[in-house]
Amino acid sequence: MQPPSTLSTRRQIQLPSKRQLECTHTHDKEKKEMYCMMTMTRFSHNQKMTDLNEPEAKLEALLDIINSSARQAIAEYKNTGHGVPSADAATFHPLDSATDTIALKKAIRLLEGAYHQLSTILAPPQHTLMNFVFNYNWACIDVALRARIADVLDKHPEGLNVDRLAEAVNLDKSKTARVLRALSLMGCFKEVAPDVFANTRLSLILKSTNNTGCLAGLHSQDVPKYAGVLYESMTDEEFAHSHEPDKAPWVLALRKEGMKGNNHWELFKNNDEKREAFQRAMLGLNEMVGASAVLHHYPWDNISSVVDIGSGIGTFSTPLAKMFPHLKITNQDLPQVLLQAQNVWKKTAPEALLDGRVEFVPFNFLEDVPVAGKDVYYLRNIIHNWPDRDATTILRNIRKVMGLNSRVLIHDCVFFHTLQEPDIGTDGLSTAPEPMLPNFGAGAHRSYQMDMTMWLIHNTKERTLGELKILGASVGLVLTQVYDLVETMVVEFRIAQS
């Protein structure tokens, strides 16, 4: 098990220590070169820190960060022994499906934050601002997903002429080509010869079997409708000041279509197809944020029993059971979800069911307490779905059955604002080096978009560490540890000693 993230100050670029680089690597020469290069970059970066108030020094510092973080990412790919991904790749790189990508994600967070900040400073403002709204990538992705274009191209690795492709997916050929060209600009599909298109490593995500593609489908098809009424939901008398789930923008969007809705979870109650798509999207979400890193970075060896609260089909608990066969695992969710979960477990981890170390206990976490006296109560992608009142109810129900050794793990995106919060500090969490925004700016893009998704669908939010502490304290829990997994965090609480 690795310790939680160490404290990093605003003036440090996060680089691996010389020891880290030396101890694990097979490609020693490359690693040492990388270390020297990065140490030099840090040296020159720190020197420039003295005059970081100068606009040009900021640009130079951002260039240094881009350089060192890109090289760190290259090193992470090379560490796998499979080289770096090629621009033309039409297959996944082994690192794409690794369960612990923390080091790569740290490098990419710096890279994305720094290059976005650099181009925003250098580009004309009208150019950058219009880039925000002049963006139909989501609509083009929606076409590609619904027409299953990536599935068709998968059978033609050398590429397929758009005439035949359009015929296969029953769309107009010139319109299909325009959609594919717009996406090819961004590396999703490629035009290998005039009017001949092929898959890339990005467009493979759009195959119908891919879980992240399923998540992309929810965001390209349904969520834009809710986003379309955001302003109305902020000005409508009934919705504007409410933080109740039945006043989420999606409720307003449904109303405009003549339909009714109260709580997003109702959508799945009697609809197997929607429930299945949602659970696959959950798998995709966890792949996108690299949530499986929790399997490697929490001390599961020292734990005997785990309750997965709002387990879904077991996207967390199934790999946990496989990796740590000593654990007793309880899955708790709504009854209809657990029926689906048991079918999935029978297929994916039958050995754990036969051993009797996994149980399924249906409950409603807003009304019932979970099973009592277990070591860990784990909540992934749960607390951010609920307003403070309901989140407190869920935690209070858990608190009632905790033993002295029990702990609650909240695993969500944890928010950092663009200005440091002096009363809260960083609690050992990483902050970006200057002149980047402390929260990594555009490097934290997906967390801020996730916060918007929570708003649009549930009228809820991602929380800061300070807000989570307050939630815990309100039910007698105290924050004891934070595990920084880059895009998500695992925040551990125990019973507060009075």
Ligand X SMILES: C[S@@+](CC[C@H](N)C(=O)[O-])C[C@H]1O[C@@H](n2cnc3c(N)ncnc32)[C@H](O)[C@@H]1O
Instruction: Give me the active site residues, please.
Output: 384
Among 118, 160, 337, 376, interactor with ligand X by CB under 6 A: 337
Mark the segment that binds ligand X (CB under 6 A) among 58-66, 217-225, 305-313, 455-463: 305-313
Q: Which of residues 341-380 bind ligand X (CB under 6 A)?
A: 364-366, 380
Among 200, 211, 286, 460, interactor with ligand X by CB under 6 A: 286
Q: Establish if 176 lies at the interface with ligand X (CB under 6 A).
A: no
Q: Establish if 282 lies at the interface with ligand X (CB under 6 A).
A: yes
Q: Establish if 290 lies at the interface with ligand X (CB under 6 A).
A: no
Q: Establish if 456 lies at the interface with ligand X (CB under 6 A).
A: no
| Cβ pair 387, 460 in contact under 8 A | yes
- Taking the complex as a whole, the smallest distance from the CB of residue 381 to ligand X amounts, in Å, to 4
Of 60 and 276, CB closest to ligand X: 276
| Cβ pair 438, 419 in contact under 8 A | yes
| Cβ pair 103, 76 in contact under 8 A | yes
Q: Which of residues 242-271 bind ligand X (CB under 6 A)?
A: 265
Return the number of other C-beta atoms located less than 10 Å from residue 447's C-beta. Answer: 21
| Cβ pair 442, 66 in contact under 8 A | no
d(CA 154, CA 278): 25
- Taking the complex as a whole, the smallest distance from the CB of residue 344 to ligand X amounts, in Å, to 12
Of 119 and 336, CB closest to ligand X: 336
Q: Report helix, strand or coil for 160.
A: strand
Of 79 and 292, CB closest to ligand X: 292
Of 151 and 308, CB closest to ligand X: 308
- Taking the complex as a whole, the smallest distance from the CB of residue 171 to ligand X amounts, in Å, to 33
Burial code of 227-248, b = ≥16 C-beta within 10 A, e = fewer?
Answer: bebeeebeeeeebeebebbebb
Q: Report helix, strand or coil for 259.
A: coil
- Taking the complex as a whole, the smallest distance from the CB of residue 272 to ligand X amounts, in Å, to 13
* Token duo for residue 358: 């996994």
Residue 238: C-alpha distances to residues 168, 235, 244, 259 (Å): 47, 9, 11, 17
Tell me the site size for ligand X, rule CB under 6 A: 18
Among 68, 117, 211, 315, interactor with ligand X by CB under 6 A: 315
DSSP E strand boundaries for 194-335: 196-198, 305-309, 328-332
d(CA 352, CA 331): 13
Q: Under 8 Å CB-to-CB from 288, ≥6 apart: which residues?
A: 212, 215, 446, 487
Among 334, 361, 369, 452, interactor with ligand X by CB under 6 A: 334
Dihedrals phi, psi of 18, to nearest 5 degrees: -60, -40
Mark the segment that binds ligand X (CB under 6 A) among 99-107, 151-159, 331-339, 466-474: 331-339
Among 5, 68, 199, 381, interactor with ligand X by CB under 6 A: 381
Q: Establish if 382 lies at the interface with ligand X (CB under 6 A).
A: yes
Q: Which of residues 10-69 bind ligand X (CB under 6 A)?
A: none
Of 76 and 492, CB closest to ligand X: 492
19 class by beta-carbon count within 10 Å (0-12 exposed, 13-18 middle, 19+ buried): exposed
- Taking the complex as a whole, the smallest distance from the CB of residue 109 to ligand X amounts, in Å, to 21
d(CA 355, CA 113): 47
Interaction mask 109-148, ligand X, x per CB under 6 A: ----------------------------------------
d(CA 343, CA 479): 36
> By the criterion CB under 6 A, which residues form the site for ligand X?
265, 282, 286, 310-312, 315-316, 333-334, 337, 364-366, 380-382, 385
